[in-house]
Amino acid sequence: MHLKSLTLKGFKSFASATHLRFEPGINAVVGPNGSGKSNVVDALAWVMGEQGAKSLRGGKMEDVIFAGTAGRAPLGRAEVTLTIDNTDSALPIDYTEVSITRRMFRSGESEYEINGTKCRLLDVQELLSDSGIGREMHVIIGQGKLDSVLQAKPEDRRGFIEEAAGVLKHRKRKEKAVRK
Ligand code: ATP
Ligand code: MG
């Protein structure tokens, strides 16, 4: 499994549709300060269901929508699509290529799609939860975040290991069942 591409439309500084293609192995995003490199990483976290504005380096969730510049009006929605190569069936879905789309409007509501079909956030989370690229984002370590991973409390460290081992999904389901 590897990330194939990312398409951003109205997400943060990416007002015009921008398509990024990735190759298997290590990919590097380079550019001057403020050119949007971290915004690309934010888009990855966001499309996979990130719910925390702070994790996305904003004050509120709507801050991910293009806010306008001197020469360009603000946009009403942000949309990101992540395409994942699933030829090794690492994701529990019967497609060799899986696209996840998240769309958000200024009202704050988000829509999710898997391969073009509307779904719930929970479906996206479950699809990714055994893949090692889940919502908890332990595989996306942003600028300045490395220290917090290294200094994690034992119980948080257990969470990282559980996610990597693919058991987090089952614990979350159990917690949900118990709450009902
Ligand atoms: P550095 O090398 O300094 O880390 P970077 O390439 O990671 O820079 P980003 O943090 O990704 O840069 O991009 C910052 C830019 O994105 C800023 O110019 C900021 O104004 C712009 N930006 C962030 N959110 C929005 C938004 N909602 N609408 C428009 N522009 C935005
Ligand atoms: Mg940056």
Closest CA to 143 of 80, 55, 82, 28: 55
Q: Hey, what long-range contacts does 23-26 have (CB within 8 A, 24 or more apart)?
A: 24/85
* Ligand 1 atom 20 nearest Cα: 13
CATH architecture of 2-179: 3-Layer(aba) Sandwich (3.40)
Q: Does residue 86 contact residue 92 with C-beta atoms inside 8 Å?
A: no
pTM comes to 0.83
Ligand 1 atom with least separation from CA of 78:
27
Helix, strand, coil percent values for the chain (each to nearest 5): 30, 25, 45
Instruction: Please give the pLDDT value at position 134.
Output: 59
DSSP label of 22 = -
What ipTM is given for this predicted complex? 0.99
Which ligand has the minimum distance to the alpha carbon of residue 34? 1
Ligand 1 pocket member 157 (CB < 6 A): no
Q: For the chain (length 180 residues), average pLDDT per consecutive 10?
A: 96 98 94 95 93 90 96 97 96 96 95 98 90 61 70 82 72 83
| pLDDT on residue 171 | 78
Contacts of 74 by beta carbon, 8 Å cutoff, 6+ apart:
65, 66, 67, 68
Alpha-carbon distances of 54 from 26, 67, 106, rounded to whole Å: 27, 17, 17
Residue 132 annotated as part of some ligand binding site: no
Distance (angstroms) between ligand 1 centre and the Cα of 43 equals: 12
Q: Tell me if 100 sits within 8 A of 86, measured CB to CB.
A: no
User: φ and ψ at 51, to 5 degrees?
Assistant: -110, -5
pLDDT on residue 81: 98
**Is the Cβ atom of 115 under 6 angstroms away from ligand 1?**
no
Q: Ligand 2 centroid to 43 CA: how many Å?
A: 13
**Where in the chain are the domains?**
2-179
Four-point Cα dihedral 56, 61, 66, 70, nearest 10: -100
pLDDT of residue 145: 66
Counting from 1 in the atom list of ligand 1, the atom nearest the Cα of 13 is 30
CA 49 to chain CA centroid, nearest Å: 5
